[in-house]
Structure 1
Amino acid sequence: MSTIRWIEAQPRSARWHSESGLPLPRRVVVADDRMSAAVAYRLACEGTALLWRGDFQNARQLLRAMDRRVGRAAPGPAGTPAETFRLYRRFRAHRARVLGKLLVLLEREHVLALRRAPDVRPACGEAYGPSDGDMAVALTELLGVISARQWREKGVYVPALGARVHPHYGVFAPTRGEYVDLVARAPLPRGGGVRTAFDLGTGTGVLAALLARRGAGQVVATDVSARARECARDNVRRLGLGRVVRVAGPGLYPEGRADLVVCNPPWIPARPASDLDLGVYDARGGMLQGFLDGLGGRLEPGGEGWLVLSDLAERLGLRSRDELLNAIDTAGLRVVDRLDTRPRHARVRDTDDPLHAVRAAEVTSLWRLAVA
């Protein structure tokens, strides 16, 4: 068990926890409202963690001030999109390390004993489970946990479903609706007579619910993440689809065959920094390859596999279109059709984003695949 230690009138310690994989702080000092942003930033850059014991709202202001200082080193567009992407990821990792040095202590039952602090116990209970004594976390992580509970309570409205989906902490939220719309409008195989469908990497369960709403007799949704499986089950219950959708895992494919297999893998073939990145990064395209390699043996005659994939990796120079088509061909599959759409999220319009040109040209596609 990782433990941080510090002096506060006497030696103290607490369990260290980081969902984003931040390393155990080796040196910890106590900080409060008297510490300036300049000093906090310098100590954090040197690798010293700051255990905050002052006012909670002042801690948030300090974090914003530190972030402004980190932002001065943000990279602009480089020579190629791939170089820009690598520099941008490196900067984001540096930013996470520096800002992650500002810590707070969650005491027993996830109590945050700071002045003007909100009651974080419900949010921490949902994210971390039962309390196991004092635990130190980065303030950035705690703010993410609080935000995640707000998203979970409010939900994300999905027009294609005509309902809200409620993401849990650590589960990728369906805020980019264009990929859901593709699954909503693609023609169903077998003339619409889909008896069984698989949704691989279900996340919140949004696509599994959509397939059920489109008339699939039985939908089996899988995910490698226990959090995602719990989230999907929660949403299935909320939507009243418990008799149609079954959540399984952690394997990619469930047992049996299906008339339709849908997979929306992470779009970027790069190594995730932590489990929180698994919705975005697919190391070496492993999930994509697993879907393609297993599809032929899991389809019923006349069935189809729907691959929902952005071409962002191609535009970043991380995977070519030929590599994708060769992988499809090598798996013994053929392309029946392809439906395309443009993203509508806010980052497409963010001209300050060093990857703006790539994001503005991005196309998301639904590839209809069948056995060759």
Structure 2
Amino acid sequence: MVQAKIEIILSGKKITANRPEPILSDIEVVPYKKRMDPMDAVDALIDGYSVLIVDYFSSGLAVLSELKKHLQTKFPDQSYKGQREFRSAYQKLSQKLLIHVTNNKLNVRKAPVIGWLEILYPNLNEFLLPFTQIQGLNSSWQWYEKGIYIPVLDQKIHPFFDTYFPTRFEHIKLFDKWLDRYKGEKKSAFDIGTGSGILSLQLLKHGFKKIYATDTNPNAIIGASQTQGFNQYDSKIELLLGDLFAQSNSKTDLIVFNPPWLPASHNTQGIDNAMYYEKDLFPRFFEEAKKHSRINGRVVILFSNLAQITGQEKNHPIEKELAEGGRFEKELLLEKKVRSASKNTKRNQNWRHSEMVQLWVLKQKVNDNK
């Protein structure tokens, strides 16, 4: 595995990775130790104080556990909407539970070693970070070191910090199945929102000669540049940092888009942009897709009915485009039922029995090609 880098040079421009914002200024904190009642720390958080873990890493876990118990009594609704409100409240309060970082190590006992601290904060000797951000860095480092096996690629990927990667593969298998039957041109393709680069690697596997892989997240671009497969095919893959088509002038035979599956109910940033879409995302995508698709090209969108079955959105954005947009028509729709949630999943995911992943194949309307 290649050692991760915090920045790369792309088209003559330096791209620097996003990272959790370090707290460098002196702030007033309430110290917390293991012998104290964790509810005292929760009360302090609710009252607006910052709480600093000062002894053991496990002390932070105890406070967060107590915070979850407290909020569960405030947000008992187990519907999708109710769980989302619970997570929002938890995120807001937990951000004020802090931990001290010194010389790229956590300044508490029995703490995990997190390689991202050295990579993402190379010139900072001392700062504070929210405990939940440390948890995210730790989980991400474990995924990065161990890698994630992708069945359709028969290889592991090592996702860079704050880069989206799939934890289930139904939609990826659906795309691979479609690529097996694809008979169109394979001169070029766009992978919009490449994330950890899996769809681009599938396109390479199926013989595409040139791929433009775009993403708004610099971490995705940095991670992709270090991914096995990408760095072996530099001449075939062009990484582009930017929104949607990243202001490229290219037209391609195929445009692949695996957008977020849920509408945003809050301001999104970082990896949240891979999970929640703003209202204007799909209209903007379809407008640009028409400009970047060759006349006989195809647009493939990997999506889900998740927003509809959880009551987050009545209108299906692809169906809305086909009914009202006047730019594309449906050529094919493939659907695959998702597997049941793991027995180890703590969240109530009763909607999974109705969820279907979808692969939409669109082509330009005939009257637009004249």
| Shorter-chain TM-score tier | 0.7 to 0.9
1:232 is matched with 224
Q: TM-score, normalised by structure 1?
A: 0.83
In structure 2, runs of 5+ residues without a counterpart are 1-17, 366-370
Q: 1-side partners of 2:235 and 2:193: how far apart?
A: 20
Q: TM-score, normalised by structure 2?
A: 0.83
Where in structure 2 are the equivalents of 1:136-285 lying within 5 Å?
136-187=128-179, 191-237=183-229, 240-253=232-245, 254-270=248-264, 271-284=266-279
Q: 2-side partners of 1:295 and 1:20: how far apart?
A: 35
1:302 is displaced (CA, Å) by 1.5
2:5 is matched with none
Could you say what secondary structure the match of 1:222 adopts?
A: strand
1:367 counterpart letter in structure 2: W
* Residue 124 (str. 1) matches residue 129 (str. 2): no
1:251 is displaced (CA, Å) by 3.2
Contact 1:20-1:275 within 8 A present in 2 as well = no
- How big is each residue's C-alpha offset from its partner over 1:267-299, in whole Å with a ceiling of 9 and x where there is no partner? 111134442311111122x33322211112211
Q: 1-side partners of 2:142 and 2:316: how far apart?
A: 42
Q: 2-side partners of 1:57 and 1:164: how far apart?
A: 31
1:69 is displaced (CA, Å) by 3.2
Contact 1:292-1:328 within 8 A present in 2 as well = no
Q: Cα gap change, 1:202/1:281 in structure 2, threshold over 3 Å: closer, same or farther?
A: same
Contact 1:343-1:362 within 8 A present in 2 as well = yes
* Residue 366 (str. 1) matches residue 359 (str. 2): yes
1:295 is matched with 289
Q: Over the residues paired in the alignment, what is the CA RMSD in angstroms?
A: 2.8
- How big is each residue's C-alpha offset from its partner over 1:238-282, in whole Å with a ceiling of 9 and x where there is no partner? 673333222112131133100000000111111344423111111
1:71 counterpart letter in structure 2: Q
1:269 counterpart letter in structure 2: P
Q: 1-side partners of 2:211 and 2:19: how far apart?
A: 34
Contact 2:254-2:298 within 8 A present in 1 as well = yes
Q: 2-side partners of 1:20 and 1:288: how far apart?
A: 30
Q: 1-side partners of 2:289 and 2:161: how far apart?
A: 30
Say how many residue pairs are matched. Answer: 343
Q: 1-side partners of 2:22 and 2:85: how far apart?
A: 15
Residue 335 of structure 2, aligned match among 340, 350, 365: 340
Q: Which moved more, 1:150-159 or 1:310-319?
A: 310-319
Could you say what secondary structure the match of 2:190 adopts?
A: strand
In structure 1, runs of 5+ residues without a counterpart are 1-16, 78-83
1:135 counterpart letter in structure 2: F
Q: 1-side partners of 2:344 and 2:309: how far apart?
A: 17
1:86 is matched with 81
- How big is each residue's C-alpha offset from its partner over 1:58-78, in whole Å with a ceiling of 9 and x where there is no partner? 33334334333333334334x
Q: 1-side partners of 2:91 and 2:123: how far apart?
A: 25
1:331 is displaced (CA, Å) by 4.8
